[in-house]
Every structure is written in structure tokens, then in C-alpha cells.
Structure 1
């Protein structure tokens, strides 16, 4: 597939006054992202609010690390094109363009967000009243006939510092391959509880299904892989469920304390204290799902995730499900990187399945 890449204005990364971070390191991270994304950019350190305001008025796309100054933060919050990054978690993020809690490495995601939202614009659709209940919809480009619909679920071990921006590049790639893409945000359980998360995923998928004229594919990465397969078990409109490095055995994931106990934190307690919740939520416990599945795993990922993926695929086949297991070289994020061999192979399998492959039983 060859899709023209639209031009994006130059990017300026602004370090606000009082920011606690090494500016050289920030510049190195930004330069790597500029090169990878094929854009021009620069780093600018601002001594005060007036300098920040001048930089925001430039034609460049601003990515701002505002630091603690209230005046600077107010300026950034009002700017319609700015993506802003707090290195530490914040209690009340300002919206989808406010990334937080990812440390210095979060600058890479902030630059990607700034570029992708301009390069491949999306339509924002709300499916509920809460600020986290929305989807970014990208129509299929050059689809032949009714376009398959992909509902995409980000990961992040169900924690609120991670959001739908993780899937921007993958969603743009899928749209270029002829799928209409719904990148779903949802309330995370660390702030809203497990029931809110599962309700939001179901509601978002239902909205995407309601607009589908072709097959419905649900795709999830990491913790989103668990959410995708669990949702597919509950929704008979799903034609294909795809797990990308998913957490597919929650009971064992809890026992091994994946990501410092992320499973128990998300589900409200360990498996032995909430067996009904785990039985409803863990894809392994829900077998057979009775929907075709694609389970993708990078061989260089966390060995526990490789183990969970392999064991899940064997168990699903033994239960009678139609499962394709794809393991190739790659790490946890290669599976959502459009430039990686493992994603290109994944996209090929998805295309084959949604265009005439077997449907759910």
C-alpha cells in the first residue's frame, strides 16, 4: 500500500519556565521523533509567559511542557493547536491533547500526537457525557465497497496516564488500508472502577457497530487486547477480534503481579477475592468466545506476555475457536508500529479475514 503523506507544519517543542528536566535530553528525544515522522522541528526554552505566548503565536505546531507556572499553563490550555505534556500525573487533565504522567519519554508520544492529529485528521464523536467517553473516527480511504469498521482499544495496563493517542499511527494506517476506524477512549478503572471501563468499551463498540456497513473488527493492544476479546465474547456483531500483545489470562497475570499488580488494581482486588469479576473479564476464562480471533505477540516482549499469548491461543483452539496465532520478532510497541514487519503481517491477516474470511459461529 502506498498512501501519500500530507505535509505538516514545522513543530516547536517549548520548555516552560521552571520545568524540571534536562533540556538536552528533551531535545534528543524530539529530534528522533522529528526524523521518524519526517517533519522539521526545533526545541525552544522559554524564560517566561511572554516568550511562551510568542511561540504559541508562531505558525509552528506547538508541543509544550509548561512546567509549574500558572500563567503559562493557562496560556497552553486555551491554545487550540497545542499538545501539552506534564511529566508527572495530574489529577484533572484538560482533555485529549493534555498528556501526563509518562515522564520524559512522554515527549515522544506528545510529538507523535501533534503530528498525527494534523496529518490524518479525525472526527470526534461522544458516546456519553463524561470527558473520557469519546471516539476519534477516521473514514476509510479508497475503500472498495462497504468498508469494514475497526473499533480500536488502547492499552496502558488500564491506567489513566495512557490514552487513545497511543493508537493514532495504527489507526491512520488502518484507514489507509480501507477500514473505517474508531479509536475509542474510555474511563479507566484507576479513577472510575472496573464496571465503568467495561460499560464504556461496550458502548463505544455498539456505536461503531451501528455505523458499520461492513464487517466489525475489534482490535486491542496490551490491556486493550483483554478488553477487545472480552467485548467480542459479549457482542455477536463482532466478526474478528484482534489482540496485540494482550493480557489474556487475568488470573495468572494477577498471580504474577504483572506491571506491579496492575490486574488486581484494575479489577478491584486479587483473583481469589473477586472470582466472579475475573471469570467475566479474563478472555481465557470466557472460552470459547465463538468469534474468529487473531492473537499477535512480539517475541521480544515481556516473557510473561509471550507465555500468556501462547497458552491462550492453544486453549482457544482446544475449546473450538478459530484462532490465528502470529508471533514474530518485535517488542511491546512494535505490534502497533505501522513501520514494523510484525504490524504489516498483522494488517495482512486482518485484510484477508474481513474480506471473505470465516465469521463467528
Structure 2
């Protein structure tokens, strides 16, 4: 059985009983054995994280608190520790192999335990697509006996883009359950992390998602996308699904729209100019095997999203200003999926009926507009809330996963 050690740093401001309740609930839900220990000081934390510790560390979650001595351990090579700051703590970089989660309050402990257990049960390979700390993706590969649509070309690829209203407190770990579910269905999964605009600006976010998608193309044939476990073939980059949740859905559909526009420019004889422009901007070429773009509870109308103050003003904060009156100019005109139609790519729009009513409205109106624009679009609305669409146990996700695998099995969409 997996052993989870939760270490509470000295001076952490939190009710001790509540921390124990959260930990016990998560241990039981995950089916693991766990221990919560209150550390006296940094030396005690260090001893608890030692492989020879009597607590028998299988995976560790540490709430460091504000102690400078304990916080200095976050950057040390102590293995696959999940560091959880209950407060927002920007600019913290954990050592290689470790994870830093922050800004989710006391509930962050639950997220930390889930992530620690997930990493043990579902190993992945972290691959950098750029030089900065947040420019990476986690690659999950199925074993040879799990391949879906098994053939010589290897498994199709699902690229996941997490949401969180473009704020840095939410990260790629929230997509962990989908990574496990999709890999279990025999699909390769590329779970993308990226710079968020609250710290780095909108252009950085857009560039990172484009580079993350392009990394699939540039990594083809290299050791960045290795062969699967037990000799399975490398991922088939001619069959790619780009899937985003919430704000990540906006990023997913925008990235596909940009990629398709790049293909169209190349088809019009402008390939050299397009490549020169991308090179000048420091961008990589786009992958050309996208079979379906998927919105899971997506923020698909940014103009109305800003005007309705969804996410307590998340849209304007991310894009750097309020939506303009009249015809939307950049960045809204470039960023809002509704204003990019037709995408000229197959789309699946998934929406929980019990979600924020504005998101339900956006999903319904977007699907109708995409169909009127000539795109091939499927609208899937079922019972569920904002997070049921990324919960593998729910009927809405089961239906979504089936639709994704069917789309990857189908032929490519016409770009006409």
C-alpha cells in the first residue's frame, strides 16, 4: 500500500484538527495509508523526508509555512516532494522532481495529497518545451497491452490544457485524473503547463500554449517523445486531440485556430513567409495532425465574459483590459473562440448543465455559431457541474472520453 507522509511546518496558521480531518478524508478516498506529523523545525522536516525515516516515506506532502529555514528546503533535491503553500507564494521554484502548489487555502492540502498519490500510481515524463520553469509538459504513454486503435502508427495523442481562470494558483496537477483515465484507454497524453498572464502577461500565455502544441511536431522522431512502455510505438502525431478545461478551453480553441490559419497560409503559397514570421517571433511550427478541439466547460465568449464579470473579472485581468465596445479588436478579437469562427476543425463542446449559467450560455451559443459558420461541431450537455467534466467517475466525462476516441479514430476534417 502507498504510504503518504504529511508534514506540517512549524508556525503554520491553521486549525490542527481541520488539517487532520482533510488528510484522513483524502487518505481514505485514495485508499492509501497516511501519517500527519507536525515538524519542530527545518532539521526535523529534513529528517522526516529522509528515506531512512521511521515514518517510511512513500510520498510526501509538506506544508512549509513561513519559516525561512523550512522554505529553503523547497529548492533542495529531496525527491518527489509536493510542497503546498496555503497562501499565495509566487516565484517559488521547487527542485527537479518536486512540485509546488500554492494559493488554494487549506484545501490545498487535499490537492497536494491527490497529486502525490497520482504521481506514484501514474508515472509520467516531464519534458521542457522552453527554458523557463513553467514551460513543460508531462507525457503519459500507455503500455503495449493498453493501446487503443492499436496499429503500427502508435497511439493517438490528447493534449490537455488546464484552466483556473488564467491564474497562477491553478496548475497542471488538476488534470491528473484525466491523464490517468485517457492513458488507461490506450491514448498518449501531453499535459501542458504554461505561464499564466497574472504574472507574465497575455502574450506569454498565448506563446506558451502555441509552443506546447508545436512541441509535439518538433519532438517527433526525437527522444522527447519516446516509445511507450513495453515496446509500444511512439505517439501518432497525425491523430491529435487538443482538450481544454474552463479557461484552458479558450486557450485550446485559440491554439487550434492559429494552427489551422498557419496551415491555410502555407497552402496559399505563403509557407516561407509564415515560417519566417514564426522564427522571428521565436515560435515553433504548428502540429498539423489535430483531429478534434475539445472545450470542457469553456469560456468561449470573452467579450461577454468580461462584460458579465465571470470569474470576478478574470477575463479583463488576463487580457490586460476591458472588452471594447463594438467590434472587438485585439486581443479580444484574436483570443475569443467565438470571434475566430470558423475554426475549420472538428469540435466537441462539453457543458455541465449545473455549471455557471453564463458558461452554459457561452457553450450553447458558441456551438450554434460554429455550426452556422460551417464547422463540424458536437454539443454535449449533460447533468454535472464545472468540475464533473474533468472527473473520470462521472457520466459526462465517460461520454466525453468516448467522443474523443471516436474523433481520433475518424478521418481528418476538411479544412475547406
Instruction: Show CA shifts across 1:228-276 (max 9, x none).
Output: 0111111132210011111000000000111111101111111118722
**CA shift in 2, pair 1:283/1:165, >3 Å:** same
Q: State the 1:48 CA deviation.
A: 2.3
Per the alignment, residue 282 of structure 2 pairs with none
Per the alignment, residue 73 of structure 1 pairs with 71
Say yes or no: does 1:109 pair with 2:111: yes
Q: State the 1:288 CA deviation.
A: 0.8
Q: State the 1:81 CA deviation.
A: 2.0
Whole-angstrom distance in 2 between the partners of 1:225 and 1:129: 25
Whole-angstrom distance in 2 between the partners of 1:333 and 1:36: 17
1:244 to 286, 296, 307: 296
Instruction: Show CA shifts across 1:112-155 (max 9, x none).
Output: 11111121111111111111111111113321122111111000
Per the alignment, residue 311 of structure 2 pairs with 259
Per the alignment, residue 296 of structure 1 pairs with 350
- Root mean square deviation of aligned Cα: 1.6
Per the alignment, residue 241 of structure 2 pairs with 217
CA contact (8 A) 2:128 2:135 kept: yes
Per the alignment, residue 255 of structure 2 pairs with 231
1:20 to 13, 18, 36: 13
Whole-angstrom distance in 2 between the partners of 1:81 and 1:126: 17
Structure 1 residues 272-281 or 322-331, which shifts more? 272-281
Say yes or no: does 1:180 pair with 2:173: no
Whole-angstrom distance in 1 between the partners of 2:16 and 2:414: 52
Per the alignment, residue 157 of structure 2 pairs with 149
Structure 1 stretches of at least 4 aligned residues deviating more than 4 Å after TM superposition: none
Q: State the 1:56 CA deviation.
A: 1.3
Q: State the 1:360 CA deviation.
A: 4.2
Whole-angstrom distance in 1 between the partners of 2:64 and 2:316: 34
Say yes or no: does 1:52 pair with 2:45: yes
Q: State the 1:86 CA deviation.
A: 0.6
Q: State the 1:357 CA deviation.
A: 5.1
Structure 1 residues 73-82 or 220-229, which shifts more? 73-82
Per the alignment, residue 338 of structure 1 pairs with 392
For structure 1, the 5+ residue unaligned runs are: 1-6
Instruction: Show CA shifts across 1:269-323 (max 9, x none).
Output: 1111872211110000001111111111111211111111111111111111111
CA contact (8 A) 1:125 1:136 kept: yes
Whole-angstrom distance in 1 between the partners of 2:414 and 2:113: 39
Q: State the 1:342 CA deviation.
A: 1.2
Whole-angstrom distance in 2 between the partners of 1:77 and 1:38: 30
**CA shift in 2, pair 1:71/1:360, >3 Å:** farther
Q: State the 1:76 CA deviation.
A: 4.2
Whole-angstrom distance in 1 between the partners of 2:25 and 2:401: 26
Whole-angstrom distance in 1 between the partners of 2:342 and 2:67: 54
Whole-angstrom distance in 2 between the partners of 1:94 and 1:332: 29
For structure 2, the 5+ residue unaligned runs are: 221-234, 261-287
CA contact (8 A) 1:140 1:180 kept: yes
Per the alignment, residue 134 of structure 2 pairs with 132
Higher Rg: 2
CA contact (8 A) 2:74 2:93 kept: no
TM-score under structure 1 normalisation? 0.94
Structure 1 residues 28-37 or 242-251, which shifts more? 28-37
Structure 1 residues 104-113 or 34-43, which shifts more? 34-43
CA contact (8 A) 1:209 1:216 kept: no
Per the alignment, residue 3 of structure 1 pairs with none
Secondary structure at 1:147 match in 2:
coil
Per the alignment, residue 62 of structure 1 pairs with 60
Secondary structure at 1:275 match in 2:
coil
**CA shift in 2, pair 1:175/1:209, >3 Å:** farther
Q: State the 1:173 CA deviation.
A: 1.2
